[in-house]
Amino acid sequence: HLNGVNRKIADKLGLKHTRILSPKNADNPEIGSGIIGELETPVPTKKFLEHLKISMKAGCIRHTPIVLDHVQKIALCGGSGSFLINKAIEEKADIYISGDIKYHEFFDANDQLIIADIGHYESEQYTIELIIELLTAEFSNFAAHFTNLNTNPINYF
């Protein structure tokens, strides 16, 4: 959905002209999986990966070979999104961002785009912001607070 966790990631990355990457059906193109959009201008790939790492508070980014000097068209899916790699290729994305990409799934890029795995938790961490926004919109006199508890079971050394 265009207002879910994928929207939060797209906003954090500064994507414009966003749409659902894989619509559920043609009758409602605003419901489906993933988001694809564009940066205002092409950005050097390594600079974008640095921005991605900082924006998503990722301990590291696992990625395929950097086959493009610059990226502009960005596809993404929070959580475990390897099922959308081929859709991102079909849509001619420069880079596909998700979590939980398995070893053999990285080969699916086949030098047609860059796959960037930022981690499952990292790609869904802004869900709490969505919940706060929904609660405060529905209950304006309700005091909602963010938790400071990090429930990610994965650490990086």
Q: Which residues pair with 28 in a beta bridge?
A: 25
Q: Which residues pair with 37 in a beta bridge?
A: 74
Strand 70-80 to 62-63 pairing: unpaired
Predicted confidence at residue 30, as pLDDT, reads 86
**Residue 57 CB partners (closer than 8 Å, separation 6+):** 122, 125
- Single pTM value for the model: 0.90
pLDDT along the chain (157 residues), means of 10: 84 96 88 96 98 96 98 97 98 98 97 97 87 82 78 85
Predicted confidence at residue 138, as pLDDT, reads 83
Region for residue 155 given its phi and psi (left: phi exceeds 0; alpha: psi -120 to 50; beta: otherwise): beta
The rounded distance, in Å, linking the Cα atoms of 50 and 61 is 9
